[in-house]
Each structure stands twice: as structure tokens, then as C-alpha cells.
């Protein structure tokens, strides 16, 4: 079974369980290309899973572009997943990439506090799905933004160091307050970064993904053979 299929199976089980218990389920999605594999696996295998109607979708981060821009994380999720499952529009809480970033970080902070339970003074997600960049970034917390793991704000604006693209991201305390944090990493380009993080090398102290450490929740890695070839 491909790693994305295995993760899709776990997510579908979580969604179905929440559905059976009549509970809401909050999930924050990351962007980039890796989640596309997961979205396709979810649609192929689980689009009819009972429970999707109780799921609320949020985003870990968003590029500061309109939702119909090919770069939009929401746009990709909508195209590949959301329009194929029974999730009410009211349960989809996208980050407004088209808005002024300064106003959006406070608006989205309000969306989080208005739609999520609070635990330890921070909004609590049932599940946050994370990717990892070749430079060790996660969400849109890049090397050099490590202070965002101590930030008082729920959301912040960052700038992609390579492209200069403005981003909106949730911050580290929110990430680490989730009940369940799942990284999905595939491909040989991620192998070195995963090795550094898992072996806790000095170099990894520069990598934001190395600071993803749930306060009380679970941290789970879904890694394919190529990405995990140095940590088997």
C-alpha cells in the first residue's frame, strides 16, 4: 500500500469514528504537491465515508494569492478533495490569500478561536496534516522564523525565502497544541532532512519541522521508502 493510501485510511477511520460518535472533527491541511497524493487517495477510496459532513477544514498556511490561483493551497484542496466529499461549505474555513496579510492574520485568528475548542489557552485541532520542505520548513514557518514557535499570535505573515512570496501561517503553539500531528513526506529529496531531524543533528536545530513537538498529542510520520531511506 502506498504511504498516501495508508494515511488516507487512517484519516477516513478518524472521520468515520467522529461521525459514529456524532462528534465534530477539525482538520488543518498543508499545501504543496505532497497532499495531492493524499487527496486523490481519499477521493478514490473514501469519498463516501460517513462523517465528512461533520468535518471542519482549516489551513495550516496559505500563499497570499487568490483562491483560483494555481498556487492556492485552498484551490488545490477544493479541486482534488473538497468538491468530491460531502462537506458543508460552512465547514470550510480557508485563509483569504487575496486579502491584506496584516488584516488576514487577525481575521483568521478569530476564525480559529471562533470554531475550535481551546485547551491550554490555544485553539485545539483534532488533526493537523503537515508537509516538510527540503529546507526543513513546515507550514509556512521557514528557517529563520523559529520565533514563531514561541509567538503569542495564532497566525503570522511570513515570506518564502526563495521566491519572496508572502504567506499566512498558523504559528507553532497552535501546531503543537493539536491532538494529532501527521507529517506526510515522500521522495528522495526529503531523505536528508528527515535523517537530520530523526537523528537530532546539530543542523536540524535550524529546521522548523524539528520544533513540531505536540504538547499532549501524537506526532506521526508517514514516509515513503525514498524519503525514509536514511532512517530505516
Q: Which residues of this protein are in contact with ligand 6PG, per CB under 6 A?
A: 30-34, 60-61, 73, 131-133, 137-140
Minimum gap (Å) between residue 135 Cβ and ligand 6PG: 9
User: The cell 498529542 sits on which residue?
Assistant: 217
Nearer to ligand 6PG, 54 or 93 (CB): 93
Residue nearest to ligand 6PG (CB): 131
As measured in angstroms, the least distance from the Cβ of 133 to ligand 6PG is 4
Using alpha carbons, list the distances in angstroms from residue 134 to 47, 58, 142, 143, 162.
31, 24, 11, 11, 12
Grid look-up 504559528 returns 171
Nearest of 86, 87, 199, 93 to residue 154 by alpha carbon: 93
Residue 133: φ, ψ to 5°: -85, 165
| Crossing angle between the packed helical segments 34-46 and 73-80, to the nearest 10 degrees | 20
Nearer to ligand 6PG, 140 or 204 (CB): 140
Cβ nearer to ligand 6PG, comparing 111 with 132: 132
Residue nearer to ligand 6PG on the CB measure, 140 or 145: 140
Count of other CB atoms within 10 angstroms of residue 183: 24
CB of 191 to ligand 6PG, least distance (A): 13
CB of 231 vs ligand 6PG, minimal distance in Å: 17
Amino acid at each position: 500500500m502506498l504511504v498516501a493510501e495508508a494515511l488516507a485510511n487512517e484519516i477516513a477511520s478518524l472521520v468515520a469514528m467522529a461521525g459514529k460518535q456524532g462528534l465534530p472533527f477539525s482538520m488543518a491541511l498543508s499545501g504543496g504537491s505532497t497532499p495531492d497524493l493524499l487527496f486523490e487517495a481519499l477521493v478514490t477510496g473514501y469519498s463516501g465515508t460517513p462523517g465528512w459532513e461533520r468535518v471542519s477544514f482549516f489551513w495550516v498556511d496559505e500563499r497570499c494569492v487568490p483562491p483560483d490561483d494555481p498556487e492556492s493551497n485552498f484551490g488545490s484542496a477544493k479541486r482534488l478533495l473538497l468538491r468530491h466529499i460531502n462537506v458543508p461549505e460552512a465547514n470550510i474555513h480557508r485563509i483569504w490569500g487575496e486579502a491584506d496579510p496584516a488584516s488576514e492574520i487577525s481575521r483568521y485568528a478569530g476564525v480559529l478561536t471562533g470554531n475550535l475548542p481551546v485547551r491550554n489557552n490555544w485553539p485545539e485541532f483534532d488533526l493537523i496534516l503537515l508537509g516538510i520542505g527540503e529546507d526543513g520548513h513546515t507550514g509556512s514557518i521557514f528557517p529563520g522564523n523559529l520565533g514563531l514557535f514561541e509567538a503569542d499570535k495564532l497566525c503570522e505573515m511570513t515570506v518564502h525565502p526563495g521566491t519572496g512570496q508572502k504567506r499566512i501561517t498558523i504559528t507553532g503553539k497552535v501546531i503543537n497544541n493539536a491532538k494529532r500531528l501527521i507529517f506526510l513526506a515522500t521522495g528522495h529529496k526529503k531523505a536528508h532532512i528527515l535523517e537530520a531531524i530523526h537523528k537530532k543533528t546539530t543542523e536540524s536545530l535550524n529546521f522548523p519541522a524539528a520544533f513540531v513537538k505536540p504538547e499532549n498529542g501524537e506526532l506521526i510520520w508517514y514516509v515513503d521508502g525514498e524519503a525514509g531511506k536514511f532512517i530505516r
